[in-house]
Structure 1
């Protein structure tokens, strides 16, 4: 197995070590490997390929110490064909929530979520994806 070096804040490393101990992992490497497998597998659902999808992405960030809001604006404009709707809301005294409604393919939505996740200083990124055609008219039971 290849050994790699990864930089991360001390707080995250402490959380990984605690998670490893609490859940019976052999060590932090096992936790990181499983997290990487899960992340890479998120958008590999064969049932969603070649279908028109709707995605909802929420992003939470601290507006006082970051430029995340500016990055969200750039992503919204860069992907204007994908972003059907966008909502910005203030949460508490220091936070903002950005919500994106997307309409596109699995590859387009995956790419958009990846760019948001790669944005420095986001606190949380959450999303869901559903096929648009699942909302079609119900078949006539007669």
Structure 2
């Protein structure tokens, strides 16, 4: 197996080690391998290709030590075609949360999430659902 060197803040490394211990992993390499597989597979769901999707992306960052707020504005403008709504909230004394509501295809939403993840943020969480499944659920309940 190839050995790879990765740079990360000490606080993230500590969390990684704690996670490995708490969840029975043999070490941080096993956690990183699994996380990498999951990340790479996220948008490879074939059943989402060619369908109109709606999604929610939540981003948390430290506004005192990060230029993430400016970058979030840039990413939003670069992806105006999929960003339906955006809300900015202050959380605690030092954190901001951005909530993006998206609508578009898999490629467009994937590109948006990739750009957000490439920014200096603490957390990125998202979910997507095909619009036609949502519409079908509404029709059934009528």
Q: Same fold (TM over 0.5)?
A: yes
* Secondary structure of 2:44's aligned partner: coil
Work out the CA distance in 1 between the residues paired with 2:135 and 2:47.
17
Q: Which residue of 1 aligns with 2:133?
A: 134
- Cα-to-partner distance string for 1:34-69 (whole Å, 9 max, x where unaligned): 010011111111221110000111111122222111
Change (3 A) 1:12 1:93: closer
Q: Which residue of 2 aligns with 1:80?
A: 80
Deviation, 1:139, is: 5.9
After the TM superposition, list the runs of 4 or more consecutive aligned residues in structure 1 that deviate by more than 6 angstroms: none
Alignment partner of 1:14 is 2:25: no
TM-score, normalization by structure 1? 0.89
Work out the CA distance in 2 between the residues paired with 1:140 and 1:115.
37
Work out the CA distance in 1 between the residues paired with 2:13 and 2:61.
21
Work out the CA distance in 2 between the residues paired with 1:63 and 1:110.
25
Q: Which residue of 1 aligns with 2:37?
A: 37
Q: Which residue of 1 aligns with 2:110?
A: 110
Deviation, 1:133, is: 1.3
Work out the CA distance in 2 between the residues paired with 1:41 and 1:12.
22
Deviation, 1:92, is: 2.3
Change (3 A) 1:50 1:18: same
TM-score, normalization by structure 2? 0.89
State the structure with more CA Rg. 1
> How many aligned positions are there?
140
* Secondary structure of 2:122's aligned partner: strand
